[in-house]
Amino acid sequence: MDIKDFIAPFAVWKRAFEKPFTVKKPIDERPGAPRYRGFHMNDADACVGCGTCEAICMNNAIDLVPAAGREAKDGDSGLRPRIDYGRCCWCALCVDICPSGSLSMSNEYVWIDRDPDVFRYVPGVEAKPWDGSALGYRRAEGYRLLDEDRVPMPELGHAEAVASFLELVRGYSRAQAEKEADRCVSCGLCIASCPAHMDIPGYIKAVRDGDMDEGLRLLYETNPFPEACGRVCTHRCEEACSIGSGGDPVAIRWLKRYIADQVELSDYAKALPRGAAPSGKKVAIVGAGPGGLSAAYYLSMQGHAVTVFEAEEAAGGMLRYGIPEYRLPYPALDKDIGYIESLGVSISRGVSIGKDIELSKLRTDFDAVYLSTGLPVAYGLEVPGEDHPRVLDGVAVLARATRGEELGLGGRVAVIGGGNVAMDAARTALRHGATVDILYRRREEDMPADADEVREAKAEGARLVEKAIPLEVRDAPDAAGEAALFIWNEATMVQKEPGKRPVPEPIPGAVREGRYDSIIAAIGQGPDLSFIAESDGVPVKRFRPVVDSFGMATRAAGGAPVFAGGDLVNDRKDAISAIADGHRAAIGIDRLLYGKGA
């Protein structure tokens, strides 16, 4: 202790004349830092209501609640997160994980109210003063808790692909599949959008867990065609996927394929449930496509004896005759069908309804009938000269390719149409060495074909001619009957009515022509309903059987009840919808046969 210890403390006095820190503006509003984690904001239009914020919130401060004016639709649950500030700890993990990136935080942190209930609100739906604040916590650039990039699928190169009919998509390895499965947040938006309502988060979890038997079991709960759907499904689920709202959607289709590919057919029986004891009831199914065989599978699981009548020499329907083998190799399809047959389903191949057997006879001989005959009739171009011998129909070309027949398409091929059949036909023609033009009446973005299909067709060398209105087919002057001139009118897209899609309007004088060895028309397909007589009592409206919510068309006296489904009935006209219809009809038929009422 020295004299300094008595004098030094008086140095405090030098501060006596300083302004204190706190009196400058004691009640001034102090804005939070630009990154401040204040009250939540949500871009309710970008939000898809997936509830991942709710899943990560360790305080259970977030609830997904119905939001006024928002309906559930594909890819949007219609719900929005409600934040309870009695629980929130402002950690912002919800912001970090938000798949769509709609959640953020303002830098506002002062909010005073007498009513404690106001501190629980739905940001972006209930307006707050800080809505739209430019400041506040945002996910930092380059920082994500979820992976927005899909694990790339190994595929054949385009040059290699067009040289053969080898399967294009090679499939995920275990490590790739598990990494891809890890991207899923199990929100379930996909389930709602899948026509068959497959338990997608469930089987993706099985991939993560490496439990293939469980995965297969979940697949077969709603879909007995996992090999086929794992390859060619129209994957509406991926459009709905919440991860897709801020990155690449989870490769749900490839993960389904991965599960099915991992289990040998001989091991299926171990993984999958056994059927019920025989019921003594017989069900006839017309059409061994995915819809018919799906009904067959679920009916046979219920113990009913199922006979499937198929006009073609092989089962599979459009999966076999409409989809080229580079997309769906026959062994994969045979595996799906093989398992269904192994359950005792009998498939009578080469039996055509209306020719070899009448519907009325099926109604007499069986306890129920399911019609799943699809759309075998190709619609025509409906232009002068459409019956030229070089005008072929797309479905027939694909079927002939499946049967291994010589296609004789020639060197230059035009494919008319923008659907999946058109793309399949074009790519099949490419694989036969042809130069291919795809002519479509509207723009590329209007094409009903999957975007992937269009992209791949172009990458493989097909030339896309957009806005081409077919006018006429004429005989090629120098090669009558051997080649044809296709004449089209260039169009411009005109928005004629607000809210409707633009109409292709011919540009006067812009008439073009091309000389082709084959012109493959793929503008659309229709049903062949000639086997349904009026006396069968099946109600038909505009070439569609009219069915109830179980797919039942009639239970009129004079025969067994008739159900119908698949492309014949639904609007989606894809395999998964047909499978869903088949499952639905199987439930309906089962309830009817067991007297539970349909």
Partner 1 sequence: MRREKQRVIPPAERATPDLDSGKYLVMWQGPQHPGITGNMSLRLVAEGDTVVDCETHVGYLHRGFEKLMERRLYMQNFPLVCRIAVPEPDFNEYCYAAALEELAGIVIPEKAVWLRTLSLEMMRLASFLMWIGGQAGAFGHGTIAQWSVTMRDYVLDLFEELTGGRIYHMYIIPGGVRGDVPAGFYKRVLETMAVVEKNLDDIELVMFHNAVFKMRAEGLGYIPRDWVDHYGITGPNARAAGVARDLRKDSGYLAYPRLDFQPIVGTESDAYERARLRLGEMYQAIDLIRQIVDMAPKDGPFRERLPNPLYWRIPAGETYVSAECTRGEYGFYVVSDGSDKPRRVAVRGPSYTHAVSVMERLVRGVNIADVAGLMVSLHTYPPEIER
Partner 2 sequence: MDATTFAAALDLALGREKAAVAFYRELSAMASFAAQKSTLAEFMAMEEGHVAMISGMKAKGSVALSPTVAVDLGLAARMDAEERPTAGMTFQDILVAAIKKEERSGVLYERLAEAASQPGLKSVFERLVAEESRHKRYFEDLYESEISKDN
Q: Which residues make up the interface to partner 1 (CB under 8 A)?
A: 1, 4-6, 8-9, 11-12, 15, 21, 32-37, 52, 55-56, 58, 89-93, 96-97, 105, 137, 140-147, 182-186, 208
The alpha helices in 272-358, defined as continuous H runs, are 290-301, 318-321, 330-342
Strands of 122-233 (E only): list them: none
Told to check if 376 binds partner 2 by CB under 8 A, we report: no
195: closest CA among 572, 585, 590? 572
Residue 366 tokens, joined: 């069986």
219: closest CA among 250, 197, 198? 198
Q: What is the DSSP string of 384-401?
A: TTTT-TTEEEHHHHHHHH
Exposed / middle / buried, residue 270 (Cβ in 10 Å: 0-12, 13-18, 19+): exposed
Which residue, 214 or 490, has its beta carbon nearer to partner 2?
490
Told to check if 397 binds partner 2 by CB under 8 A, we report: no
Q: Work out what residue 92 binds among partner 1, partner 2, none; the CB cut-off runs from 5 to 8 Å by kind.
A: partner 1
Neighbouring-strand partners of residue 80? 65
Q: Work out what residue 540 binds among partner 2, partner 1, none; the CB cut-off runs from 5 to 8 Å by kind.
A: partner 2
- To partner 1, the closest distance from the beta carbon of 209 in angstroms equals 9
Q: Measured in Å, how far apart are the chain's first and last C-alpha atoms? A: 100
Q: Work out what residue 476 binds among partner 2, partner 1, none; the CB cut-off runs from 5 to 8 Å by kind.
A: none
Told to check if 522 binds partner 2 by CB under 8 A, we report: yes
- To partner 1, the closest distance from the beta carbon of 9 in angstroms equals 5
Rounded Cα gap, residues 16 and 384, in angstroms: 103
What is the 3-state composition of the chain as percent helix, strand, coil, each rounded to the nearest 5? 30, 20, 50
Told to check if 526 binds partner 2 by CB under 8 A, we report: yes
Cα four-point dihedral sign 357, 358, 363, 368: positive
3-state class (DSSP) for residue 494: strand
Told to check if 273 binds partner 2 by CB under 8 A, we report: no
| Stretch in the footprint of partner 2 (CB under 8 A) among 72-80, 124-132, 171-179, 469-477 | 469-477
Told to check if 317 binds partner 2 by CB under 8 A, we report: no
Which residue, 91 or 351, has its beta carbon nearer to partner 1?
91
Rounded Cα gap, residues 405 and 438, in angstroms: 23
Q: Work out what residue 477 binds among partner 2, partner 1, none; the CB cut-off runs from 5 to 8 Å by kind.
A: none
- To partner 1, the closest distance from the beta carbon of 395 in angstroms equals 43
Neighbouring-strand partners of residue 103? 42
- To partner 1, the closest distance from the beta carbon of 212 in angstroms equals 18
By rule CB under 8 A, what count of residues binds partner 2? 46
Residue 508 tokens, joined: 């006067």
The single residue among 62, 219, 241, 422 that binds partner 2, judged by CB under 8 A, is: 422
Exposed e or buried b per residue across 44-70, where buried means at least 16 C-beta atoms within 10 angstroms of its C-beta: beebbbbbbbbebbeeebbbbebbeeb
Which residue, 141 or 264, has its beta carbon nearer to partner 1?
141
Which residue, 136 or 419, has its beta carbon nearer to partner 2?
419
Q: What are phi and psi of 90, to 5 degrees?
A: 60, 35
Told to check if 419 binds partner 2 by CB under 8 A, we report: yes
Name the site residues for partner 2 (rule: CB under 8 A). 377, 379-380, 382-384, 386, 416-422, 440-441, 448-449, 469-471, 496-497, 503-506, 522-524, 526-527, 529-534, 536, 538-543, 573
